[in-house]
Amino acid sequence: MAKFTQQEQSDLKALLQRKLRGIPADHLPYLRLSDIVNQTPTALTLPNIPRDLQLPFFLAHRDTIDTCRGLAIKDAATQHIDVTRAIFFYRLDAAHQFQRYHDSHRWNIAIFLALLTFPSTVYRVSMAARRFMATYLAAVLEHHNNPAAFDMREEFVRLWKGGNYDFFTFGASQKKLLKCEMKRLHKEWEKELGRVEVELGREAYEARVARFAGVLVPAGETQRAQRRQEAVVSMEVAAADVMQGIEMENEKWENKLLAALKVPVGEVDTEKEKLKVNLDAVPVTRKSDALWAVQHCEPRDILRNLREMFPVERDVASPV
């Protein structure tokens, strides 16, 4: 990087670090200033990020993202849809993303699964609410099992942005209850998944059921590790496809990356009152009903419903 003085390099490195702040460490590859300047594949191809939201967009719009504290906002007049999409896909807002490994999302997934398993007449859950929940579950499946595809996540962000529904939030006593329920459900799911694997056989289990384990329902460490490895393979294939597309377009990505990095970004005043957003948003049903559903829905019924919601060809008319 001979074109920069030592001071310029130091300033650019600090700026890059500042603009990448808040993104979970395991979500993006480790990026150096040399990756930006030399347009390396590491900086050019983020296979788990849509093409139009790649680093040139993110680096250039980080200041805009920071003005709303990195929070996803429904109001289109306050936050452009592409900024909302970037917040979701770069996982800047812990309350609005597709990653299972946050307690709040694990709890919401469990609630959505239970509510969708009971008939719609049992709770006051509208068809629009059921669509919201089902689309989110599909988006989580896509994020964990096929991170290089974006259709379901894009659909959910548009649905979330354009409607009033949002995720459940929980108080201290509700969190305590849900933590206890998750422990109980983990044991019950381990038994249920074991039973289904024995009945279906290993090959059929992998084809029909394994995609849910460790993603939408609890699973042992072996199954979680397998899901992670499958996601890595999918990302590697996607990275090659993205890189080929970039080469075919013959764009001057180095200039775009460096120019985007140089866009000024202010410091967020952490002393200011916490930003309150999406005040008109509502959950899909009453929280008391949601908690009751989690406590009374059985894994066997949930799994049967999941396989009906997300069928594979060999699942048709399967008795298990």
Question: For residue range 18-35, what is the model confidence (pLDDT) as tens digits?
Answer: 999 999 988 999 999 999
pLDDT for residue 318 is more than 80: no
Task: Find the mean pLDDT for residues 122-141.
Answer: 94
Q: What is the pLDDT of residues 208-264, one digit of tens each?
A: 999 999 999 998 655 545 555 554 555 555 545 555 555 544 454 447 999 999 999
Q: In this predicted structure, what is the pLDDT of residue 98?
A: 95
How far CA 287 is from CA of 103, 108, 173, 247, in Å, comes to 16, 11, 13, 50
Confidence of residue 102 (pLDDT cuts 50, 70, 90): confident
Amino acid code (one letter) for 69 = R
Average pLDDT over residues 27-49: 94
Q: How many CA atoms lie less than 13 Å away from 31 in the CB half-sphere?
A: 33
Average pLDDT, the chain: 88
Closest by CA position to 226, among listed 239, 240, 207, 210: 210
For the residues 187-194, what does the mean pLDDT come to? 96
Please report, for the chain, the start and end positions of each structural domain, with discontinuous segments joined by +.
6-310
**Span 68-87, average pLDDT:** 96
**pTM for the predicted model, two decimal places:** 0.88
Q: Specify the higher pLDDT residue, 100 or 198.
A: 198
